[in-house]
Chain A
Amino acid sequence: MVKKWRQRMRSWLTNKLELPADIVMDLPRITMIGQIHIYIENHRGLLTFSDKELRLLLKQGQLLVRGEQFVIKTILPEEILLQGKINQVIYIDE
């Protein structure tokens, strides 16, 4: 109950005060450059990785990236830069 209320409070704050949503609400910020790069900030760890699939843990749910010839160019505790041919980016809610 409290959690849901807090969520709504934050959502209202970002709307009214025009604060960046990714910071206030701890959402991932995803930057894609065409099909070849995807840059994801605010992730919570690597779940699976292969050359066709990357699964990342988020604060809420998971992010699934599908494609071909994946290489993790850089990985830091909260950031990841993936290179390859990206076909799909899917949010999975639990």
Chain B
Amino acid sequence: MKNQWLSLFIGSVRVKVQGRGAERFINACLRNGITVWDVKKHSEDITTFFILLKDIPNVRAVVRNSECKLYFIGKNGFPFFLKKMVSNIGFMVGISLFFIMVFLLSNMVWNIQIKGAKPETEYRIMKELQRMGVEKGAFQFLIDDPETIQRKLTNRVETITWVGVELKGTTFYFQVVEKKQPKETKRIGVQHLVAKKKAVITDMFVEEGQPVISVHDHVKKGQILVSGIIGKEGQTKLVPARGKIFGETWYKSTVVLPLQASFHVLTGKYVEKHYITIKNILIPVWGFKKPPFSHYKIDQQKKALRFWRWELPIFYERVIYRETEEVTRNYSWEEALQKAKEIARKELKAKLEEDASIKGEKVLHEAKENGKVRVEMHYQVIENIAIPQPIVQGD
């Protein structure tokens, strides 16, 4: 039995045989290997049936040897459809253009909404977004994903604490939480200021309260610096003592640094590859070469393509191969010492408050052991040593 689908695919024609001996004609066809189906006899000398498109040259020979006349009365199947399509090329181009347009437009950013920001912050965010390429008419698969935008925005715009980035369809929603610039002063209760740690007072700046120490005094931890009790004996009043008391404090820190270390660093060279992913099948679109690096790191970005309002199971994937290099760092004794000091200083700075300053440093001890440098440092630091201590009333 022949396959109906096959005939549809390779094309068939309906023919009309006119004349006596249609049966003989069909027999002759069969003998010549021509497939014939759907034979109908309409009257004494008119018979119609189907033959395959590819058998037409063979049929001509059969017709010549018979006393019948052959007419082609219908055509169907894919080749004819193709022919029709070619003649209606404008229409086809229109349809495909329409789909391409819808597809492209559904993958664009059409609206950016920023909520919860002051006008100037909003303007700055807009500027930053523009720098990142997020603007009206940008393709969604070419810009960063919302998480990255969120991270970049929070890093670059310092007046915002947090920004929520959401991509809904073709609209970007930004929910901004701004830093409250002037902090509201809390109502504070009556308090003393006491020393945070052992120090020598270098400078005092008292806003309220009765200072009980003076410059160059040596104070212990917990000692009252500024009293919250003011006034003469018998006429005392309790106030919240406020102010800054700067004192010289001392810190000790130890840093151990290996003389030799190896790292993987990016060289800055990279190769990009672009793929369209359908389920698990990767179709390369751009970048077919193997990355010419011996060591590399792979960065992958995957984005779903959309059509109209649906997310297609098709992804646009960008793979970036970044070349890495193994670098061995070798320090000489002096360099290592220098570096260790730097690290120690940095670590200390991170621990200290902003208004603190390092006054002096001294190397207490330096040693080389097992290919490592061990440095003990001593720092003199000027910092605010005052911390509040509430006065418990009713005593």
Chain A residues in contact with chain B, CB under 8 A?
Answer: 45-51, 70-77, 81
* Cβ B30 vs Cβ A48 within 8 A: no
**Chain A residues whose CB sits within 8 angstroms of the CB of B23 once the complex forms:** 46-49
Q: Contacts A45-B27, A49-B47 given; 10 further ones with Cβ under 8 A?
A: A45-B30, A46-B24, A46-B26, A48-B23, A50-B44, A71-B38, A72-B37, A72-B40, A72-B49, A76-B35
Residues of chain A within 8 A of B38, CB atoms compared: 71-73
Which single member of B37, B42, B44 contacts A75 (CB below 8 Å)? B37
Contact of B36 (CB < 8 Å), options: A47, A48, A70, A75: A75
Name the interface residues of B1-50: CB closer than 8 Å to any CB of A. 1-2, 22-24, 26-27, 30-31, 35-42, 44, 47, 49
Sorted from nearest, which 6 A-B pairs have the closest CB atoms? Answer: A72-B39, A46-B23, A45-B27, A50-B41, A77-B30, A74-B37
Q: Are B39 and A49 within 8 A (Cβ)?
A: yes
Once bound together, how far apart are the Cα atoms of A61 and B228, in whole Å?
133
Enumerate chain B residues within 8 angstroms of A76, measured Cβ to Cβ.
30, 35
Closest B residue to A53 using CB positions: B41
CB closest residue in chain B, given A70: B41
What residues of chain B have their CB less than 8 Å away from a CB belonging to chain A? 1-2, 22-24, 26-27, 30-31, 35-42, 44, 47, 49
* Complex Cα–Cα for A45 and B23 (A): 9
Given contact pairs A47-B23, A48-B23, A49-B23, A75 touches B41 in the complex (Cβ within 8 A): no
The reply to whether A51 and B40 form a contact with Cβ atoms under 8 Å apart is yes
**SS class, residues of chain B in contact with chain A:** mixed
- Shortest A70–chain B CB gap in Å is 7
Which residues from chain A contact B47 at a C-beta distance below 8 Å?
A: 49
List 16 A-B pairs, Cβ < 8 Å. Answer: A46-B23, A46-B24, A46-B26, A47-B23, A48-B23, A49-B26, A49-B41, A70-B41, A71-B39, A72-B36, A73-B37, A74-B1, A75-B26, A75-B39, A76-B30, A81-B1
| Distance between Cα atoms of A55 and B2 in the complex (Å) | 23
Q: Are B27 and A46 in contact (CB under 8 A)?
A: yes
Q: How long is the Cα–Cα vector from A45 to B26 in the complex, in angstroms? A: 9
Residue of A nearest to B23 (CB): A46
* A contact residues around B35 at 8 Å (CB): 76
Residue of B nearest to A46 (CB): B23
Report whether B37 and A49 are in contact in the complex, using a CB–CB cutoff of 8 Å.
no
CB pair B2–A74 under 8 Å, yes or no, is yes
The CA-CA distance from A46 to B26 in the complex, in Å, is 8
Q: How far is the CB of B173 from chain A (nearest CB, A)?
A: 63
Contact B40 A77 (CB under 8 A): no
The CA of A47 and the CA of B24, in the complex, are separated in Å by 7
Q: How far is the CA of A45 from the CA of B24 in the complex (A)?
A: 9
Q: Which residues of B contact A77 (CB under 8 A)?
A: 30-31
Report the minimal beta-carbon distance from B181 to chain A, rounded to whole angstroms: 87
- The CA of A47 and the CA of B30, in the complex, are separated in Å by 13
In the bound assembly, the distance between CA atoms of A50 and B234 in angstroms comes to 136
* Contact of B22 with A49 in the complex, beta carbons under 8 Å: yes
Q: B42 to chain A: which residues have CB within 8 Å?
A: 51
> Contacts of A48 on B, CB cut-off 8 Å?
23
Report chain A residues within 8 Å CB of B26.
46, 49, 75
Q: How far is the CA of A71 from the CA of B26 in the complex (A)?
A: 14
- Once the chains bind, are B30 and A75 in contact (CB under 8 Å)? yes
Quote the shortest CB–CB distance from A85 to chain B (angstroms): 14
- Rounded to whole Å, the gap between the CB of B59 and the closest CB of chain A is 15
Of chain B, the residue at the smallest CB distance from A48 is: B23
Q: Are A51 and B41 in contact, CB atoms less than 8 angstroms apart?
A: yes
Q: How far is the CB of A62 from chain B (nearest CB, A)?
A: 13
